Each structure stands twice: as structure tokens, then as C-alpha cells.
């Protein structure tokens, strides 16, 4: 099992906070012969640099070399595509199903179908609203805490003076969009930061640029702060800000979440002001949990990664060895 190291001093690798009595060994067929484990992975899509790194991590962990056959499906951020993929995995009789859910809702029926077929489900990255009895475990990052950390920076840096903020939200109904918004709002409560507008940019650069263009047309130079719920939306917004004759990082300060190489590069050049980490390299831990579940070992209901955060100096220090 890959150990994730946390904190700014060790960015790029991630510490995993383990609670309870999870086993760490790999499962195998009875009698000593190792069985190839067939896993269906329902990924959200390819909306961002973070997602691309997450997919690579998962494909690497669920490799033939590691004893797996991976059936991969990217849903293009459409919940109906993802539900159809999980139905297909069940019909194919896979050994286990891993889901990075596009949205939190609508999962009960298909997960009940998987349970009836005795196929364990493991959630990766994102959480869902279904009963915990319908899945074996979840492995991912604490989105609420990420929002709290980003908001705490905004409160400390700008909260004492009148500040007008716009927000680029992630995919509507997704757990990171919901939880990051909740965490950020809790941190800026009682400050002088006012939200002028908040709209979804679907976690993509293209939509981040388009929505930011709209904000600038509507509010102009009134905007002092942008909270981008992921790096890609913030990076898209840079083009819109520059085209409007504003200087990102100065006229409009920017705080984002993910900690991708591109995001930290923008931070290192002063175009971003603060970045909170959300490490995508979850594959090895997910594969370990899948093996434990199939081997009948006890696993925790949740494994939460501990993320760091970056200012400009930390970004410059991290970039030479950044993994994604």
C-alpha cells in the first residue's frame, strides 16, 4: 500500500489518515494461486488536469502486473452515463466496482442491484448520499476541510476590508462543489467579504473562462477576489481577467483548490495567490482496499487523505518534484 505523505514540506505525496482495523495485504485465490481480479471503474470523465492524474493513478494501480483486469469507463460528467456503466459492470459479473461519482444523488437503485449480485462497491474520490450499507468503503480527500483552508486564507488576507468576491463552482450536485462551498463559507463568516456572484464552471478551463467573462462584464472592476473551486477553472479565468485589462493576483486575488502543476505554476508567477491541495494519487490505496474487501478482511468505511496548502514560496519549492 502506497503511503501518502501530507503537508507543504512533503507535497506531491500524500499521508493517509487511517482509523480502525484495516488490513494492508493483497487478496488472492484460495490454495495459493492468485486470481485475476476484474474491476469496473466508473470515472467521472476528463474534465481537468486533476482528473487526468487521478485516472492515470487508478490505471497504474489496477494493472495486470498487480493482478487486476480493469474495465474503465469515463462518463463525460453525465450521471446517466455513469449509472449505465455500473449496470454494465454488474451484467459482466465483475469482482468489484469502483465509482468516482459525478453527482451525489441517484445511486440507490443501481447499488442495490450490485449488492444483490454480491459485487462490492468502493467509492473513490467523491462521496454519495446513498446508504453506507450499499458500499464497502470510500477513499478520497476532505473537500469540506479544503474549503475551510481556502476560506481561512481569504479571511486572514482580505476579510478585514470590504472585498467583493465571485465564485467559480464545480459540477452542480457533486460532492466537492457542495462541500468546498460549505467549508469556504464557514471560514469567511463574519468577515467583510461579500459574494457578488457564484456560478458553475463545471471544473473545466473552458467554462471557467466563459463564466469569468460574464462576471467581468457584469461587475467590472468591483471584483477583488475569485474563489475557484479547482485549478482548471481558475486557470481559465486568467485569460478572461487579462482580456479585461485586469492583473490576476493583484487587481483580482485568486484562491483555488487542487494543487496541480499548472495551478502551482500560476501561483509561483503571482497570478494565483493561494492554492489548497487535493491529491489525486489515490490508486494504490483503492486497489489495496479492493483486495482486502474481496479477501474478507475488515476495512474502514472511510480513508481520508491529508492535504497541504501553498503560498508562492511553497509552490516554487514544490514544482521541481511535483507528480501531477
Q: What are the pLDDT digits (tens) for 14-67?
A: 334 333 333 333 334 444 567 899 999 999 999 999 999 999 999 999 999 999
Task: Please give the Cα distance from 18 to 32 (Å, whole number).
Answer: 29
Q: Is residue 257 a contact partner of residue 48, using CB atoms and an 8 Å limit?
A: no
Task: Please give the Cα distance from 234 to 226 (Å, whole number).
Answer: 8
pLDDT at residue 10, rounded to an integer: 35
Q: Is residue 14 a contact partner of residue 305, using CB atoms and an 8 Å limit?
A: yes
Query: How many other CB atoms are there within 10 angstroms of residue 247's CB atom?
Result: 11
- Any domain includes 302: no
Bridge-based pairing of strands 274-277 and 163-169 is unpaired
Residue 231, domain extent: 143-277
pLDDT at residue 13, rounded to an integer: 36
Q: What are the pLDDT digits (tens) for 64-109?
A: 999 999 999 999 999 999 999 999 999 999 999 999 999 999 999 9
- Any domain includes 221: yes
CATH number at residue 251: 3.40.50.2300
pLDDT at residue 306, rounded to an integer: 80
Residue 250 DSSP SS3: coil
- Any domain includes 270: yes
- Any domain includes 74: no
Angle at Cα 161 formed by Cα 312 and Cα 187, nearest 5°? Answer: 65
The list of the chain residues with pLDDT below 70 reads 1-33
Q: Is residue 18 a contact partner of residue 47, using CB atoms and an 8 Å limit?
A: no
pLDDT at residue 99, rounded to an integer: 98
- Any domain includes 14: no
- Any domain includes 250: yes
The CA–CA distances, whole Å, from 131 to 11, 41, 178 equal 34, 20, 18
pLDDT at residue 27, rounded to an integer: 39
Per the structure, the count of domains in the chain is 1
- Any domain includes 13: no
Q: Count Cβ atoms within 10 A of the Cβ of residue 185 and give its class: 0-12 exposed, 13-18 middle, 19 or more buried.
A: middle
pLDDT at residue 33, rounded to an integer: 60
Residue 230 C-alpha cell reads as: 479547482
Q: What are φ and ψ of residue 46, in 5° steps?
A: -140, 50
pLDDT at residue 175, rounded to an integer: 97
Task: Please give the Cα distance from 322 to 324 (Å, whole number).
Answer: 6
- Any domain includes 65: no
Amino acid at each position: 500500500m502506497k503511503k501518502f505523505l501530507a503537508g507543504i514540506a512533503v507535497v506531491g505525496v500524500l499521508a493517509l489518515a487511517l482509523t480502525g482495523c484495516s488490513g494492508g495485504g493483497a487478496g488472492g485465490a484460495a490454495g495459493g494461486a492468485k486470481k485475476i481480479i476484474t474491476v469496473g471503474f466508473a470515472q467521472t470523465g476528463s474534465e481537468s488536469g486533476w482528473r487526468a492524474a487521478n485516472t492515470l493513478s487508478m490505471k497504474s494501480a489496477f494493472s495486470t502486473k498487480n493482478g487486476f483486469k480493469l474495465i474503465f469507463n469515463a462518463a463525460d460528467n453525465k450521471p446517466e452515463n455513469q449509472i449505465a456503466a455500473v449496470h454494465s459492470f454488474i451484467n459482466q459479473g465483475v469482482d468489484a466496482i469502483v465509482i468516482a461519482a459525478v453527482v451525489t444523488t441517484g445511486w440507490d437503485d443501481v447499488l442495490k442491484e450490485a449488492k444483490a449480485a454480491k459485487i462490492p462497491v468502493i467509492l473513490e474520490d467523491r462521496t454519495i448520499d446513498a446508504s453506507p450499507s450499499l458500499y464497502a468503503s470510500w477513499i478520497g480527500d476532505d473537500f469540506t476541510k479544503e474549503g475551510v483552508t481556502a476560506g481561512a486564507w481569504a479571511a486572514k488576507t482580505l476579510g478585514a476590508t470590504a472585498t467583493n468576491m465571485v465564485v467559480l463552482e464545480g459540477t452542480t450536485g457533486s460532492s466537492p462543489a457542495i462541500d468546498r462551498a460549505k467549508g469556504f463559507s464557514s471560514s469567511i463568516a463574519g468577515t467583510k467579504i461579500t459574494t457578488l456572484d457564484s456560478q458553475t464552471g463545471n471544473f473545466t478551463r473552458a467554462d471557467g473562462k466563459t463564466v469569468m467573462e460574464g462576471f467581468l462584464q457584469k461587475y467590472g472592476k468591483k471584483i477583488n477576489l475569485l474563489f475557484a473551486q479547482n485549478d482548471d477553472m481558475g486557470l481559465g479565468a486568467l485569460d478572461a481577467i487579462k482580456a479585461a485589462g485586469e492583473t490576476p493576483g493583484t487587481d483580482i486575488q485568486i484562491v483555488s483548490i487542487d494543487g496541480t502543476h499548472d495551478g502551482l505554476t500560476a501561483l509561483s508567477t503571482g497570478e494565483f495567490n493561494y492554492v489548497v491541495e487535493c491529491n489525486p494519487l489515490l490508486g494504490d490505496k483503492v486497489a489495496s482496499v479492493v483486495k482486502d474487501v474481496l479477501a474478507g478482511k475488515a476495512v474502514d468505511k472511510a480513508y481520508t487523505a491529508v492535504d497541504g496548502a501553498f503560498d508562492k514560496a511553497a509552490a516554487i519549492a514544490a514544482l521541481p518534484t511535483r507528480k501531477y
